[in-house]
């Protein structure tokens, strides 16, 4: 039996889930949704990822670490977009089903907050 490498469900602030999503900037939502269209990409759940900071410019981001699991929402969208996923994985019903649904949802949240650009 293979070991599970993904979260069991989207976390409470998952940007790839309809419920509780952060409300990303629309361009960032497009970038994230595009990543899921490629079946070879992976996206660590922020709850299990390591944070790495670039010493040169101080920027940083989440990266896979030894204890990281793939984000369930990301994997759900990826499977919906590509039609296949790891053995035993079923897309979560709270996750977005396609690129356009995710981007539109985040645009709605972003502009509802009164944010611009």
Q: What is the DSSP annotation of 23-86?
A: ---HHHHHHHHHHHHSTT---B-TTTPEEEE-TTT--EEEE--TT--B-HHHHHHHHHHHS--S
Can you give the pLDDT at residue 94? 96
Give CA–CA dist 4/70, Å, rounded.
10
The pLDDT of residue 23? 83
pLDDT for the residue 63: 78
What is the pTM for the complete model shown?
Answer: 0.86
pLDDT less than 70: residues of the chain? 1-2, 21, 115-117
Which one, of 48, 45, 39, 56, lies nearest residue 17 by Cα? 45
| Model pLDDT, residue 116 | 62
């Amino acid at each position: 039996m293979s070991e599970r490498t993904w979260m069991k469900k989207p976390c409470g602030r998952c940007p790839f889930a309809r419920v509780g999503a952060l409300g990303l900037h629309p361009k960032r939502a497009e970038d994230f949704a595009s990543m899921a269209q490629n079946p070879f990409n992976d996206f660590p759940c922020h709850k299990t990822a390591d944070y790495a900071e670039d010493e040169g410019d101080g920027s940083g981001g989440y990266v896979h670490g030894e204890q990281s699991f793939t984000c369930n929402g990301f994997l759900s969208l990826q499977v919906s977009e590509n039609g296949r996923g790891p053995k035993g994985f079923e897309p979560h019903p709270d996750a977005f089903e396609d690129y356009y649904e995710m981007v539109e949802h985040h645009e709605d949240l972003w502009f509802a907050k009164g944010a611009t650009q």
